[in-house]
Structure 1
Amino acid sequence: MSVIIQVALPVPLFRFFDYRIESIGQDDLTTLLGKRVSVPFGPRQIVGMIVDVQQDVDYDRSKIKAIIELMDSEAIFDSTFLSLASWLSDFYLHPLGEVIATMLPVLLRKSAKLEWPHIEYLSIDESNSQDLDVKLGRSKLQLALYKQLGIGERALKDIRKTHSAATVKALIDKGLVQKQSKPIQALDWQAQLRIAEKPRPNLEQSIAISTINEAVGFNTFLLEGVTGSGKTEVYLQIIEPLLLAGKQVLILVPEIGLTPQTVSRFESRFGISVGVLHSNLNNKERALVWKQAKEGEIGIVIGTRSSVFTILKNPGMIIVDEEHDESFKQQDGLRYHARDVAAYRSKQLDIPLILGSATPSLESLHNTIVKKFRHLPLTQRAGNATMPTQLLMDMRNQNHQFGIADSMLEKIKVQLEQGNQVMVFVNRRGYAPSIMCHSCGHVESCEPCATPFTVHKSARNLQCHRCAATRYIPNKCSRCGHKELVTEGIGTEQIQLGLEQLFPDYKSIRIDSDSVRGKGKLTRLLTQINNNEYQLLIGTQILSKGHHFPNVTMVLILNVDGALFSADFRAPEKLAQLITQLAGRAGRSDKQGEMWLQTHNPQHPLLQDLINNGYGDFARFALLERKHALLPPYEYQIALRVESTYLLQAEKFLKMSLPIFEQFQKLRAIGPFPAFIEKKQGRFRMLLIVQSASRSYLNKAMTQVVNFLDQQAESKRVKWYVDVNPIDFN
């Protein structure tokens, strides 16, 4: 018989689409949910997911378009994951079809089948092994490979790591080896599990481990440990009993750069392969790990933000490391926060959630105060390491070179002469933030973004860091033709060149998004740093993300004054987290560390509080400020954002929504006002913030507003979207 199904399609519409499936038996109806179908949609053919089955309809079924193909023999999403998708759609006010597409690996969003991928193997062709001396001749490389294959077949991708394609081709052409394609074999990680020797935890670690291990079902723990306190060791010891019981663990990390060192520690401890998910993998690699986790063939999955949607066959725990990090918030499409999704999933699955950080978000700290989360502090560094000394360098009236005070250069020299490493942080990549004409003052700017070009001397060009536009460095002013051009401000490139000039006997390395491009490059650079191949480390926020540098004894932070006076109410929290995380890179072994903060505002209360009392005291005072100001986490926010090539059109759209918000007594609307980055790629950006003390009230009201705006003609003339719990107003 034919059945009418409702399909969620990856289109920006808050509705489902009816299609017809032929020849479905009564017993098969319940198995349709969560399967993918290929369907006609206008002139296109796209892939969607079945979310409902309708047996009784009051219209002619024959007039409904039939599907093109039922793509899966088994459901991709079970009822739990369909429920998660529905919650995401409701909570983030985003179409369900696009939500489901976001949750799927890229290959499965298309027409790919969920099957084990094939790998090519090389093996000896026994039927053609005569006269080897004649066939191989004097080729030592071919003979070496042939002997390796004599032990047994090997994957072609592994052979190519040590042998050239020409060697492989020659053996195949001579008929000595054969190439075969075989599906990847299923893994039995439990049989491989071997627990390596582990260190004895200190008292605070022991309390955290026993508290978590004794908990039953869903609980959320905030593991607040100072940098170097051994949070990873706690993770290792709390998941050990889960792995022994055959349970799987999902671990989220904020940056790709943290993945290799984290994976290495977990593989060394447990003797099993860890599934890795991040954007540097290709689509096939990501789909394979996703499938292995779904089939229960991987015990541990470690990944960045989107890996929160990994399906686990036998879930035991979810861990979110560095839970405060902004990178867990998706800033386009489905604007979810991986930490919040992890919390919902943990409650769904009735498993514990561990949030770890040296600088917890104010939201998480607030949840410990109201007893929603259980607080587990780690106040001491592991081993013999001590907390670094934190100091301010008053830059007023100081002589400086390349942005570094002369007195600081002397301190750097002392550290280098003692065989230590020094880290210099500046949140500006490139050589200089701008280039200007010394004659007329004109600044070379990206017109579509209305922002100065950044000078990149290593790439020999100017770059716009908003839209990625580039142009050659000019040899004369584009306005007056004068040839004397000067740079303003300092970036990582300039600091590196300056330190190389000032300290020619020591090697320097720059770590920013420009210098670490390429698969595996950051991992190689971090290894070289830990091998003490470089003594001067210059970089941006990449250096602050939880890396362990045992030889770094001094951290110098430049150019933070701008963040002290930002219009963003989250700026003090972000700055405090950054400073504390950077300070934690120093003195992580048995050497005393120190952190210096250069500032022209040494008496600023935020800096004084951080230096003298630490992040914990600052955070609790910041929470009190937020409470009096009626800001998150004491009230909830949703941003209505709009982009348009015409500023007045964007403003008109947001003003059109204001009368609707006035109907809700428990709402406050703030704006409209320009985004902090007002223009990008020729489009003006504005937003309106709506907030309430009730999350559910705010969500229901915003749902009505979205439905109203979607029906207005003005909504078709601008690009607009909703951002629930915004953390960035750029």
Structure 2
Amino acid sequence: MPQAKFLQLAIPVPLRQLFTYAIPDALLEHSFTVGERVVAPFGHRHVIGIVMAIVDECEFAPNKIKAITNIIEHDQCIPQALIKLLTTCASYYHHPIGDVFHQALPVLLRQVEPPSIAPIIAWQCLPKTEDNAEVLSKLDNKRSKKQWQLYQLLSHHQQLTWPEIRTLGFNKAQLSALENKQLIASVEQLATPFQWHDDALNQENEFTLSTEQAVVVSAISQSIGQYSCHLIDGITGSGKTEVYLQSMTKVLSHHQQVLVLVPEIGLTPQTLSRFEQRFNVPIFLHHSGLNDKERLATWQNANQNNAAIIIGTRSAVFSPLPKLGLIIVDEEHDASFKQQDSFRYHGRDVAIIRAKQLNIPIILGSATPSFESLHNAIKQRYHYHQLTKRAAGSRQAKVSLLDVSNQTLQAGLSLPLKKAISQTLERGEQVLIFLNRRGYSPAINCQECHWVAECTRCQCPYTLHRGQGLLICHHCGSQKRVPAQCDSCGSVRIKPIGQGTEQIEEYLAQTFAQYSTVRIDRDSTRRKGELNKLLQQVLNKEHQILIGTQMLAKGHHFPDVTLVAMLDIDGALFSFDYRAPENMAQLIVQVAGRAGRASKPGKVLVQTQYPQHPLLQDLVNNGYQHFAKQGLNERQMAFLPPFGYQALVRADANYPSYPEKFLRQIATVNFSDCELAGPMPAAIEKRAGKYRFHLLLQAKTRQALHQGVTQVLQSLTNNEWQSKVRWSIDIDPIELSW
């Protein structure tokens, strides 16, 4: 009879440990492997557990150990390399290992009931015949323009799946129309391991590299097969994407896979489009815009080496890629790479860890590198490459400050700015107005008693959304109708305070009625495919005035935008957050990069009440590089990251005293090598009905910080307030206000 064995499982619960389970007699003959998924009882429910170890002995009494109830009979084991990465992440971020594995898996693989594995359906063009030639000739007109574009796209590729077609801006109606006309047909996509072939590269779309680009590509190509981190610091429009594409070619030609991380879904369509034009290889997407079955399909194809390229947002860093040869992190500075709840990892940092473990190169690209990455480049931990010239001969737009301290503003716009807008539109060019605040206005108040409509759950003003007739809290999502009179004194003199994108759109549409105005923010792009549709309309010059939030700040190419105006950026100049100036500078440079990207010269106007502020003067006159070096010097004197290391302990509860008392008890621990700040209320003390407090740990070395965090976790066993609060630990926090 085989010897009894036990399994150590990672279970998705908030406990930092593995759980031991017995193997039932019915499964003793099964050959268990590390990374396998099994069904195990936990409390009154059954959960998916990941096998982390198989042991012959157990320290607990046999009658106290539960047995697993089932195994998952699918070829969906987590690869050993990914297990190593996730274990490292759980240790570094001090997060429960079961939850780390749970979040790295697609939703359908976290369920006890095994998912039904449906075949992947793709579409391809049917051969041209006499019967469909006439139908095809009628497609090339304005009424069937999108159908014609979709047909052309499919004719250049062997097959395209629905997620790819949808991401590229087409809908089901256009796809069905081509099917009904018998021009295309759906087929079951064969899942075969990726192999590079002669026609996998479309050289017609390959650009000639500049000298700077060629040097970077050469350096990356020489490092294929070994770990190296390459920071590409290239001004906006300098051709970083072309460097990525030509660096990928050598990796793909060795039958290896490439992982491309982008910060937001909005950048996925243009990235996919560029890659589809260059490579005729299997490309899969991974982001929150896909449904559960589509994300499972991506996971499976990546795991089985069927995918050549994975393009995704931060969670795509956990894709199981057995032949991964290169990782690319585009816009590496972006805060969207940091997960801000639950498992608080940083996608860029995890990608670097993964590249080290696999001994492969990684590329970090940005026009405004984060201070941490610049510091590592200066210390020669990264290979530092600069692209200082724009591709195709276009010139970088000049940034000018508009002093509005003594001017009367209408809807937040000054008279000189309105004149510049008018002149640009008269030349037949496009204008982009940037305001990082959606809605009509950030607050409403009473003109009689100065009452402000505040969210009772957050103690923050409601944002007015006039188009919907609602007051919406942007912190907790609560809504209410716009009151007809003041809640305090009954006056009907209620007016909006400040500006949002909705108000700017209304004012410009009235002022420049002969031109088309479009607003691109989270409110106007809620429906699937709406963002792609609006961006395409802008490229087609259907709109002359663009108004948008941070969604338009990076990555997008608008060749006819020659004037960019930025409104209300002064808040960052006086923020308590030491990262605020860095974020402000990155935002200004990124938004400015949307101007003059083609042959037409561009101009950038930044409205400010403080044009003489040294931070703005340094950025405008000396550029981001000098600004960043000055910022690094300041941080070095204050021992702030990247010259120090931080961990933030957050706590919240229904009563304001509970989180403060919880953190105050932690602060009594004798931390030998860590400094403490707090407990202190969060910048927004009450959010979604919870009172929130912070305790910040800071150390001069990473080792000392982790020792301090370990002391915090050990002290919790004796903390009488632990059961009364919800708490979390954020290693390397980048957002101190939440």
TM normalised by structure 1 equals: 0.90
In the other structure, the counterpart of 1:720 is 727
CA distance in 2, matches of 1:638, 1:254: 23
In the other structure, the counterpart of 1:546 is 555
CA distance in 1, matches of 2:644, 2:717: 26
Tell me whether 1:13 sits opposite 2:21 in the alignment. Answer: no
Tell me whether 1:657 sits opposite 2:666 in the alignment. Answer: yes
In the other structure, the counterpart of 1:109 is 110
Matched to 2:11, the amino acid is: L
CA distance in 1, matches of 2:160, 2:218: 44
Structure of higher CA gyration radius? 1
Tell me whether 1:708 sits opposite 2:715 in the alignment. Answer: yes
In the other structure, the counterpart of 1:381 is 390
In the other structure, the counterpart of 1:138 is none
Q: Which secondary structure state, in structure 1, belongs to the residue aligned with residue 431 of structure 2? A: strand
Rate the CA distance shift 1:161–1:188 in 2: closer, same or farther, 3 A. Answer: farther
Q: Which residue among 174, 186, 196 is the counterpart of 1:190? A: 196
Tell me whether 1:77 sits opposite 2:73 in the alignment. Answer: no
In the other structure, the counterpart of 2:212 is 204
Rate the CA distance shift 1:535–1:14 in 2: closer, same or farther, 3 A. Answer: same
In the other structure, the counterpart of 1:508 is 517
Q: Which secondary structure state, in structure 2, belongs to the residue aligned with residue 675 of structure 1? A: strand
Rate the CA distance shift 1:685–1:222 in 2: closer, same or farther, 3 A. Answer: same
In the other structure, the counterpart of 2:144 is none
CA distance in 1, matches of 2:676, 2:57: 44
**Are 2:431 and 2:544, in contact at CA under 8 Å, matched by a contact in 1?**
yes
Q: Which residue among 668, 671, 683 is the counterpart of 2:675? A: 668
Q: Which residue among 457, 462, 465 is the counterpart of 1:453? A: 462
CA distance in 2, matches of 1:121, 1:81: 29
Matched to 1:8, the amino acid is: A
Q: Which residue among 473, 477, 493 is the counterpart of 1:468? A: 477
Q: Deviations over 1:684-706 (max 9, x none)?
A: 11101101111012112211211
In the other structure, the counterpart of 1:139 is none
Tell me whether 1:323 sits opposite 2:332 in the alignment. Answer: yes
Q: Which secondary structure state, in structure 2, belongs to the residue aligned with residue 423 of structure 1? A: strand
What are the within-5 Å matches in structure 2 for residues 473-552 of structure 1? Answer: 473-552=482-561
CA distance in 1, matches of 2:342, 2:500: 31
Q: Which secondary structure state, in structure 2, belongs to the residue aligned with residue 471 of structure 1? A: strand
TM-superposed CA distance for 1:63, in Å, is 4.4
CA distance in 2, matches of 1:266, 1:72: 35
In the other structure, the counterpart of 2:697 is 690
Q: Deviations over 1:196-232 (max 9, x none)?
A: 2211100100110001111250000100000000000
In the other structure, the counterpart of 1:172 is none
Rate the CA distance shift 1:155–1:628 in 2: closer, same or farther, 3 A. Answer: closer
**Are 1:35 and 1:74, in contact at CA under 8 Å, matched by a contact in 2?**
no
In the other structure, the counterpart of 1:51 is 52
TM-superposed CA distance for 1:440, in Å, is 1.5
Q: Which secondary structure state, in structure 2, belongs to the residue aligned with residue 320 of structure 1? A: strand
In the other structure, the counterpart of 2:128 is none
What are the within-5 Å matches in structure 2 for residues 372-451 of structure 1? Answer: 372-451=381-460
Matched to 1:52, the amino acid is: A
**Are 1:10 and 1:48, in contact at CA under 8 Å, matched by a contact in 2?**
yes
Q: Which secondary structure state, in structure 2, belongs to the residue aligned with residue 32 of structure 1? A: coil
TM-superposed CA distance for 1:408, in Å, is 1.1
Long gaps (5+) in structure 1: 123-152, 169-179
CA distance in 1, matches of 2:709, 2:196: 47
Q: Deviations over 1:169-218 (max 9, x none)?
A: xxxxxxxxxxx997864465634613322111001001100011112500
Count of paired positions: 686
CA distance in 1, matches of 2:271, 2:176: 32
Matched to 2:726, the amino acid is: K
CA distance in 2, matches of 1:156, 1:447: 44
CA distance in 2, matches of 1:236, 1:104: 28
Q: Which secondary structure state, in structure 2, belongs to the residue aligned with residue 346 of structure 1? A: helix
In the other structure, the counterpart of 2:651 is 642
In the other structure, the counterpart of 2:602 is 593
Q: Which secondary structure state, in structure 1, belongs to the residue aligned with residue 196 of structure 2? A: helix
Tell me whether 1:365 sits opposite 2:374 in the alignment. Answer: yes
CA distance in 1, matches of 2:114, 2:189: 14
CA distance in 2, matches of 1:120, 1:690: 51
RMSD: 2.5
**Are 1:224 and 1:378, in contact at CA under 8 Å, matched by a contact in 2?**
yes
Q: Which secondary structure state, in structure 2, belongs to the residue aligned with residue 279 of structure 1? A: coil
**Are 2:14 and 2:99, in contact at CA under 8 Å, matched by a contact in 1?**
yes
**Are 1:637 and 1:691, in contact at CA under 8 Å, matched by a contact in 2?**
yes
Q: Deviations over 1:88-124 (max 9, x none)?
A: 11110101000100111111111354774236899xx
TM normalised by structure 2 equals: 0.89
Long gaps (5+) in structure 2: 124-158, 166-170, 181-185
In the other structure, the counterpart of 1:239 is 248
CA distance in 1, matches of 2:69, 2:250: 47
CA distance in 1, matches of 2:415, 2:122: 61
Matched to 2:559, the amino acid is: P
Q: Deviations over 1:703-728 (max 9, x none)?
A: 12112214423111011110000000
Matched to 1:460, the amino acid is: G
Rate the CA distance shift 1:269–1:485 in 2: closer, same or farther, 3 A. Answer: same
Tell me whether 1:33 sits opposite 2:34 in the alignment. Answer: yes
Q: Deviations over 1:480-527 (max 9, x none)?
A: 221121110000000010001110110010011111112111111111
Q: Which secondary structure state, in structure 2, belongs to the residue aligned with residue 596 of structure 1? A: strand
CA distance in 1, matches of 2:611, 2:709: 43
In the other structure, the counterpart of 1:177 is none
Rate the CA distance shift 1:365–1:37 in 2: closer, same or farther, 3 A. Answer: same
Rate the CA distance shift 1:337–1:636 in 2: closer, same or farther, 3 A. Answer: same
What are the within-5 Å matches in structure 2 for residues 601-612 of structure 1? Answer: 601-612=610-621
Q: Which secondary structure state, in structure 2, belongs to the residue aligned with residue 404 of structure 1? A: coil
**Are 1:255 and 1:545, in contact at CA under 8 Å, matched by a contact in 2?**
no
CA distance in 1, matches of 2:613, 2:162: 61
In the other structure, the counterpart of 1:126 is none
Rate the CA distance shift 1:447–1:59 in 2: closer, same or farther, 3 A. Answer: closer
Q: Which residue among 591, 602, 608 is the counterpart of 1:582? A: 591
In the other structure, the counterpart of 2:155 is none
Rate the CA distance shift 1:39–1:25 in 2: closer, same or farther, 3 A. Answer: closer
CA distance in 2, matches of 1:329, 1:419: 40
Matched to 2:220, the amino acid is: I
Rate the CA distance shift 1:319–1:114 in 2: closer, same or farther, 3 A. Answer: farther
TM-superposed CA distance for 1:664, in Å, is 2.8
In the other structure, the counterpart of 1:213 is 221
TM-superposed CA distance for 1:295, in Å, is 0.8
CA distance in 1, matches of 2:428, 2:162: 45
**Are 2:46 and 2:112, in contact at CA under 8 Å, matched by a contact in 1?**
no
Tell me whether 1:68 sits opposite 2:75 in the alignment. Answer: no
**Are 1:225 and 1:231, in contact at CA under 8 Å, matched by a contact in 2?**
yes
**Are 2:120 and 2:297, in contact at CA under 8 Å, matched by a contact in 1?**
no
In the other structure, the counterpart of 1:4 is 6
**Are 1:293 and 1:311, in contact at CA under 8 Å, matched by a contact in 2?**
yes
**Are 1:72 and 1:114, in contact at CA under 8 Å, matched by a contact in 2?**
no
Tell me whether 1:627 sits opposite 2:629 in the alignment. Answer: no
Q: Which secondary structure state, in structure 2, belongs to the residue aligned with residue 53 of structure 1? A: strand
Tell me whether 1:265 sits opposite 2:274 in the alignment. Answer: yes
Q: Which secondary structure state, in structure 2, belongs to the residue aligned with residue 496 of structure 1? A: helix
CA distance in 2, matches of 1:425, 1:537: 8
**Are 1:33 and 1:75, in contact at CA under 8 Å, matched by a contact in 2?**
no
Tell me whether 1:567 sits opposite 2:580 in the alignment. Answer: no
Q: Deviations over 1:301-346 (max 9, x none)?
A: 1100100001112111000000000000000111000011000000
Matched to 1:553, the amino acid is: T
Rate the CA distance shift 1:502–1:316 in 2: closer, same or farther, 3 A. Answer: same
